[in-house]
Amino acid sequence: MQKNARVEYDYSVAKAFTFTAILFGILGMIVGVTLAFQMAFPHLSNLAGEYGTFSRLRPLHTNTVIFGFTLSGIFAGWYYMAQRILKVSLRESPFLMFIGKLHFLLYFITIILAVVTLVAGYTTSKEYAELEWPIDIIIVLWWVLWGVGIFGLIGIRRERTLYVSIWYFIATFMGIAMLYLFNNMEIPTALYSGYGSWMHSVSMYSGTNDALVQWWYGHNAVAFVFTVPIIALIYYFLPKESGQNVYSYKLSILAFWGLMFVYLWAGGHHLIYST
């Protein structure tokens, strides 16, 4: 393609994630409303036996909204924005197109498995990290695939300058990779004790250490899913839709590194129910 030729962007992967965000957004909110009614009318927990209890629906709600709805929107945003910001199309790299579609497929399978296992009662009992170890392995696979897609597109970009949104996406990838791996270190119960379920697992940490690692992760599940990538979306769509340039690039640098150095290490407050 010539240097000044018009780039034909491919939004197929972005659209797939967008439809998934809509689907799991609706499902997650329905479960959330159901839980709200159960808190007001506790007898509603008995409508579907063990499968409709608050204790099973609550993690289903949080995981569907956080990882089914929000993360789908973030991935959709990446596959839409990155091509435009970096001035390169997924069509130009069959390899990266394959990676993107495989990323979506494994991700969608993960969400379906999450719904089935959580309703069935399989859980690590660690908030925002309830999914058991076989699903964790699949999550690591598609997270690595997303990383390959991120750095692959950056590597073949035409636009030399990395817009601030790209920084936030890179931080999201690296931050969650570190957090998820460390917090989900677990051993299948049958392997650890010689009996019990192979699906169930026990944490490699114990006592206070387990609590500290869990809320280092839990706090940053909010930071690096609900905050950092959302800021990436805002930095692109807000100037685009308003027609106003970013006021200060220096402030964006201050905000980025302030968030990275402070937010990342502030998880302990969850353990003392304080700010």
Distances (CA, A) of 130 to 24, 159, 169, 175, 197: 18, 40, 24, 19, 16
Which bin fits 194, alpha (ψ -120 to 50), beta or left (φ > 0)?
left
Residue 4 clears pLDDT 80, i.e. is over it? no
pLDDT of amino acid 3: 52
Measured in whole angstroms, the distance separating CA 191 from the mean position of its chain's CA atoms is 29
The pLDDT-based confidence of 268 (bands split at 50, 70, 90) is: confident
Give the 3-state secondary structure of residue 188.
strand
pLDDT of amino acid 38: 95
pLDDT digit string, tens, across residues 83-139: 999 999 999 999 999 999 999 999 999 999 999 999 999 999 999 999 999 999 999
pLDDT of amino acid 99: 98
pLDDT digit string, tens, across residues 192-235: 888 888 899 999 999 999 999 999 999 998 899 999 999 999 99
Residue 248 clears pLDDT 90, i.e. is over it? no
Residue ranges and CATH numbers for the domains of the chain are 12-271 (1.20.210.10)
Measured in whole angstroms, the distance separating CA 198 from the mean position of its chain's CA atoms is 26
Can you tell me the mean pLDDT for 260-268?
87
Amino acid symbol at 66: I
